[in-house]
Chain A
Amino acid sequence: ILNVEQSPQSLHVQEGDSTNFTCSFPSSNFYALHWYRWETAKSPEALFVMTLNGDEKKKGRISATLNTKEGYSYLYIKGSQPEDSATYLCAYGSSNTGKLIFGQGTTLQVKP
């Protein structure tokens, strides 16, 4: 059974704090690791797709790193803002069919 674990399950921070989440996935048969941002009542929105060990991606204040050998990825948010409040999902692709296995997500609440 392929398992994707995310931690913490939820996080409450103050505006301006920097924060990071972890995604653990099987290190075998790795194809891709996706990060999605999911706001309440909206659709999941892709943040990053990473495929190579050591990949680092950045979009504004959000960045992600990938270690395929040990099976983990970190998502960092620098200077959190209330609009960053959402659930952050990671998803592991283990085949070339595009099938993704999602973690349970980390729910972030940023207080003004």
Chain B
Amino acid sequence: QKEVEQNSGPLSVPEGAIASLNCTYSDRVSQSFFWYRQYSGKSPELIMSIYSNGDKEDGRFTAQLNKASQYVSLLIRDSQPSDSATYLCAVSTGGFKTIFGAGTRLFVKA
């Protein structure tokens, strides 16, 4: 069974802090990695994609990928209350299937 594991949280951080969200996956042939943000009652919104080892930065978001450790993370700098949401880690092996983790709930305290 191919799996994507996330800590369900909630992860609580104060406003302005760095939020660190982690994800591990079981299938070594996974090629593509995504982070989606989902507000309560809304649909998932793609915020980051990463395909090769290392860091990828986009504004306040940094995705980190370590294929040897089968680990992908998302850092949110200068966290804002508007970042409070569930963050879904998603992994694809290159076919049409994307496996989603159960999500980590993030709460940013003002």
Chain B binds chain A = no
Q: Which residues of B contact A (CB under 8 A)?
A: none
Which chain A residues have a beta carbon within 8 Å of chain B's beta carbons?
A: none
